Amino acid sequence: MEIQNIIEGWSNHILSLTGKPPKKEWLDKLEICLNCEHTNHGEKNKCSLCGCPLVAKVKSKSKCPIKKW
């Protein structure tokens, strides 16, 4: 199931690059993640708990590993 979420996140990310405006839900999740103590800003904004790149994670049905969203 997690692999489907990862694929969905990257697919949504690619679609968002075509000029489609981002969903408010994605922006809300990203704001939470960027302010989280578990975000590794030095490694292209990856979650240090699950290792996912935030740009795709917030655009998927994945859950935050510590339930912040």
- Mean pLDDT over each residue of the chain, to the nearest integer: 88
pLDDT in the model for residue 1: 56
* CA pair distance 14, 18, nearest whole angstrom: 7
pLDDT in the model for residue 35: 95
pLDDT score of 2 more than 80 = no
Burial group, residue 35, by CB count within 10 angstroms (0-12, 13-18, 19+): exposed
- The predicted model gives 44-69 an average pLDDT of 91
* CA 61 and chain centroid, separation: 9
pLDDT score of 17 more than 60 = yes
**pTM, whole model, 2 decimals?**
0.77
| Residues with Cβ within 8 Å of residue 6, at least 6 apart in sequence | 52, 56, 60, 62
Contact between 61 and 8 under an 8 Å Cβ cutoff? The reply is yes
Query: Domain residue spans in the chain?
Result: 2-57
